[in-house]
Structure 1
Amino acid sequence: MYIPDIYKNENQEEIRTFLVQNSFGILVNQTNGKLCATHIPLELDTNKEGKEILLGHISKENPQWKGFADSDQILAIFSGPHSYISPSWYNHENVPTWNYIAVHVYGKIKIIEGEAVTNSLKKLVDKYEQHSENPVRIEDLSKKTMIQTRGIVAFEIEIQEIQATKKMSQNRDDIDHATIILELEKTENSQSVAVANEMKKCRK
């Protein structure tokens, strides 16, 4: 991913927090000579060897998984808040742009089976059920229901490289930066307000 130095995020703790909070990503690989992409949750975890991984699964009906054997190289893309930035918000003439946060994770994928699949699903369900009034637990599901796991391909991705960008008008002076935040908040658009909040963190 092309990242100008001013927008490069190298804060590892911040990046990992972002991956946990924005885990619905895009899994990209090559299958049968074509690029394939699937939108799925990819959960940050650590394997038995202490290496950072992403856990996920896709349907067996999805042909993307058949490319895992030909090449284990994978790209996972994660996006955060983003918003259009109008040049009318500057105190000088300029061009429009876009503020956004994105993380690319490169790694090696391998299919997992057996108990590892159940453990992966348990971590996923526990994370998203924790705030439910009546949380569902994998351990409580019947064998009949769990048979459906035969229809998925579960995997883990050993992380080899992470590239992160955080474009939040870092190149603007304090006056323009403050004005952009005010204008974003005026939109009352959830994405724009989220960008405004991220911008505030950059100038603390």
Structure 2
Amino acid sequence: MIDNPDYEIEDEARVRDLVRHHGWATLVSVADDGAPVASHLPVLLEDTPHGEPMSLLGHVGRPDDVLHRLDSGRESLLIVQGPHGYVSPGWYDLTPAVPTWNYVAVHLHCTVELLAPAESYRVLSDTVDRYESVMPHPVRLPHVEEYARRIAKGAAGFRLRVTRWQGKAKLSQDKPRAVAERVIAALEADEHYAKPTLAAEMRAELGRRSAGTDGGSAGGSTGGEA
């Protein structure tokens, strides 16, 4: 990740919040032949007691579990991408200036535990519930249980236990506040590049800067890897 301490996320609660609200992730492992393997998948943050490492649940379609060697005990990397978007220098009202890309992302280094079929099915059901809950007429797996249990055999559930993490939030911290405010306004309304969720992240970042805090502190063994 970009090696700039100004963008470092140091608050684990902020990382948990990112995973909770932006649960589409990329799982990266190393195959037996040394080649990297990547899968894109939804993850759920587990509720863990205060002070315990983060734990996540997810699933892959078979045979991705074999390609990733998820039963090998090797460490895998999970990348969670939060809001991101193009930033035009035309929004700065400042010269000289060049374009950039603002984003929030975390890298979670994890050990992997494959789950038994019954627990894998619960992961699938909980994932459906997580995203269907906001629908006017939510569809739950019990509504289509016979079909759901049949196709669930093609998925492998797993638990990720986070051993260390690194997060970066590149949100125009290097720009004067007035410039950042103009970028926020453009991200809220621009015809081509509006990204309201990214604008909201930038507003929150300005609030942290005004309060003289980055939102908390990180555990020394969990953050800080470039």
TM over 0.5: yes
CA RMSD across the alignment = 2.4
Structure-2 residue corresponding to 1:86: 88
After TM superposition, the structure 1 stretch with the greater mean CA deviation from structure 2, 83-92 or 160-169, is 83-92
Q: Could you list the runs of 5+ residues in structure 2 that have no partner in the other structure? A: 208-226
In structure 1, what residue type is equivalent to 2:159?
Answer: E
Structure-2 residue corresponding to 1:76: 78
Question: Does the Cα contact within 8 Å between 1:58 and 1:65 map onto a contact in 2?
Answer: no
Question: Does the Cα contact within 8 Å between 1:74 and 1:109 map onto a contact in 2?
Answer: yes
State the SS of the aligned residue for 2:9.
coil
Following superposition, the deviation at residue 157 of structure 1 comes to: 0.8
Question: Does the Cα contact within 8 Å between 1:45 and 1:55 map onto a contact in 2?
Answer: yes
In structure 1, what residue type is equivalent to 2:58?
Answer: G
Following superposition, the deviation at residue 144 of structure 1 comes to: 5.1
Rounded to whole Å, the distance in 2 between the matches of 1:191 and 1:164 is 24
Percent of aligned positions with the same letter in both sequences? 26
Correspondence for 1:116 among 115, 119, 127: 119
Structure-1 residue corresponding to 2:108: 105
Correspondence for 1:183 among 186, 195, 219: 186
The change in CA–CA distance for 1:120 and 1:145 in structure 2 (over 3 A counts) is closer
CA offsets per residue over residues 139-171 of structure 1, 9 Å max, x none? 444345412222111111111112111111111
In structure 2, what residue type is equivalent to 1:15?
Answer: V
Rounded to whole Å, the distance in 1 between the matches of 2:193 and 2:149 is 37
Matched, 1:41 2:42: yes
In structure 2, what residue type is equivalent to 1:159?
Answer: V
In structure 2, what residue type is equivalent to 1:73?
Answer: E
The total of aligned residue pairs comes to: 203
Structure-1 residue corresponding to 2:167: 164
After TM superposition, the structure 1 stretch with the greater mean CA deviation from structure 2, 135-144 or 78-87, is 135-144
Following superposition, the deviation at residue 190 of structure 1 comes to: 6.5
Following superposition, the deviation at residue 191 of structure 1 comes to: 5.1
TM normalised by structure 2 equals: 0.79
Rounded to whole Å, the distance in 1 between the matches of 2:20 and 2:162 is 14
Correspondence for 1:54 among 53, 56, 59: 56
Q: Could you list the runs of 5+ residues in structure 1 that have no partner in the other structure? A: none
Question: Does the Cα contact within 8 Å between 1:65 and 1:153 map onto a contact in 2?
Answer: no
CA offsets per residue over residues 17-74 of structure 1, 9 Å max, x none? 11111001111101132111111101111479x6531111111133654522345211
Rounded to whole Å, the distance in 2 between the matches of 1:100 and 1:114 is 37
Structure with greater proportional strand content: 1
The change in CA–CA distance for 1:189 and 1:22 in structure 2 (over 3 A counts) is farther
Rounded to whole Å, the distance in 1 between the matches of 2:124 and 2:24 is 15
